[in-house]
């Protein structure tokens, strides 16, 4: 039996990107708004009273003064690192060798992969995240576990088998051929099933030989509707390592470009220390850059140039980068993005932060036509924020002179207690 529901509360709408001009012209909040939902989609938006009058048989879920926002979209994560999040004291390369690789070896066990996938989706849903783009491990079972769990929950997700054939432990290396074969089989099994999408996933240039990068580029050329995800220019010592491994390359990005791994459906995590040529080429092809602020500070990588890259017309999403990132929360991630922007001399407006975590990330994933906004025809992924979830937040919100002053304390200090409800595909998940 089909259920028609009206979700009522304060409803956030984006009419355009807040980075293109005045944020107050791009984003608005209907203080007595509503969403009409049926069959996993938003049928209509508008004043809740009008929706109720037009659809008297619809089930009403009244969230009062809570703020209804699009479900958060995490554009870059490593679900296999769930159990080792917040590991102490290392920079990127040592952190991978000491913490990440030993944990990822455990995903050869399908039962372990399944248990971590379930835990990961429980944790992310509790923080209001409804869409995730994740790296898996080299093990096909890790991909199957992620997609199986997401499908059971009705979530829109993107994921792929991580490919590495050098500079990794023996138990985490594949080959150029096996990476191609396994990735192709997984792609054919999962891509386009329900709300699932496959991403071709070379971890990063240092852990793939040129032959493997060629193989991944060939697979992407065969399946250009897929996304391709990797890492780019996260730390300066990483960039120096890449230069040693690829002496013929013009820069880090060229190690992907030369092997068919630069394109408009490419997602490049971090992208902190970019050369002018790299910035120009990424903009020319319309690639997606993914800002991972909690990771960049936790591992000591650097300060992403959000304002400068936005001004150049780059496509940018936001991400937790679990578990290099130190939180599963997109609220905490927005707060870290604000702090990094402040260090670069720019105070981001709350509308800009919410856009990055929703519509911006959706557009980076080439899904801006179906998720990331609360609009007719969009999938009914909705996060409901309690703007007075703790005494500290409540006392600050009480002094707010407008909705943005009321929202900002939740962005800066909120956690899972601020998540009043989560709707995934029109069904309540939290």
Domain residue spans of the chain: 4-70+373-428, 72-328
pLDDT tens-digit profile of 94-111? Answer: 888 899 999 999 999 999
**Environment class of 4 (CB within 10 Å of its CB; exposed 0-12, middle 13-18, buried 19+):** middle
pLDDT tens-digit profile of 282-312? Answer: 999 999 999 999 999 998 999 999 999 999 9
CATH no. for 72-328: 3.20.20.140
pLDDT tens-digit profile of 354-413? Answer: 999 999 999 999 999 999 999 999 999 999 999 999 999 999 999 999 999 999 999 999
Query: In 3D, which of 348, 340, 353, 268 has the Cα closest to residue 302?
Result: 340
Q: What angle do CA 414, 49, 47 make, to 5 degrees?
A: 60
At residue 190, the pLDDT reads 98
Prediction pTM value: 0.98
pLDDT tens-digit profile of 189-216? Answer: 999 999 999 999 999 999 999 999 999 9
Contact 87, 95 (CB under 8 A): yes
Contact 105, 169 (CB under 8 A): yes
The token pair at 225 is 């509707």
What topology is assigned to 4-70+373-428 in CATH?
A: Urease, subunit C; domain 1 (2.30.40)
Cα(71)–Cα(379) distance, integer angstroms: 10
| Residues whose CB is less than 8 angstroms from the CB of residue 169 and which lie 6 or more positions away in sequence, other chains included | 101, 102, 105
Bridge partner list, 289: 268, 316
């Amino acid at each position: 039996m089909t259920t028609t529901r009206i979700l009522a509360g304060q409803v956030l709408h984006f009419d355009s990107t807040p980075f293109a001009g005045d944020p107050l012209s791009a984003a608005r909040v209907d203080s007595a708004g509503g969403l009409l939902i049926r069959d996993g989609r938003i049928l209509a938006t508008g004043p809740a009273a009008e929706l109720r009058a037009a659809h008297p048989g619809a089930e009403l879920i009244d969230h009062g003064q809570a703020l209804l926002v699009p479900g958060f979209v995490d554009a870059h994560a490593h679900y296999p690192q769930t159990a080792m999040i917040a590991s102490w004291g290392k920079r990127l390369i040592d952190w991978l060798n000491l913490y990440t690789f030993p944990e990822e070896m455990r995903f050869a066990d399908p039962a372990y992969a399944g248990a971590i996938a379930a835990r990961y989706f429980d944790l992310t849903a509790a923080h209001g995240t409804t869409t995730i783009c994740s790296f898996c491990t080299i093990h096909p079972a890790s991909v199957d576990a992620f997609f199986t769990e997401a499908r059971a929950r009705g979530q829109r997700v993107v994921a792929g088998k991580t490919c590495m054939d050098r500079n990794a432990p023996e138990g985490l290396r594949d080959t150029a051929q096996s990476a191609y074969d396994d990735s192709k089989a997984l792609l054919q099994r999962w891509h386009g099933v329900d709300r699932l999408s496959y991403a071709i996933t070379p971890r990063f240039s240092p852990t793939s030989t040129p032959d493997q990068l060629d193989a991944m580029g060939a697979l992407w050329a065969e399946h250009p509707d897929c996304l391709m995800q990797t890492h780019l220019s996260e730390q300066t010592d990483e960039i120096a390592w890449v230069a040693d491994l690829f002496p013929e390359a013009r820069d880090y990005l060229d190690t992907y470009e030369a092997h068919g791994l630069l394109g408009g459906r490419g997602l490049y995590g971090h992208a902190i220390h970019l050369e002018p040529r790299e910035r120009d080429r990424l903009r020319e092809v319309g690639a997606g850059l993914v800002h991972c602020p909690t990771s960049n500070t936790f591992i000591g990588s650097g300060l992403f140039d959000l304002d400068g890259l936005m001004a150049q017309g780059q496509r940018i999403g936001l991400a937790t980068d679990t578990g290099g990132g130190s939180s599963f929360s997109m609220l905490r991630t927005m707060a870290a993005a604000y702090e990094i922007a402040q260090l670069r001399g720019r105070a981001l407006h709350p509308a800009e932060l919410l856009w990055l975590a929703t519509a911006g990330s959706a557009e980076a994933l080439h899904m801006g036509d179906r998720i990331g906004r609360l609009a007719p025809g969009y999938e009914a992924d909705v996060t409901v924020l309690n703007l007075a979830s703790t005494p500290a937040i409540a006392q600050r919100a009480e002094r707010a002179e407008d909705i943005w002053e009321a929202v900002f304390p939740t962005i800066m200090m909120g956690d899972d207690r601020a998540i009043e409800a989560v709707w995934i595909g029109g069904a309540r998940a939290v």
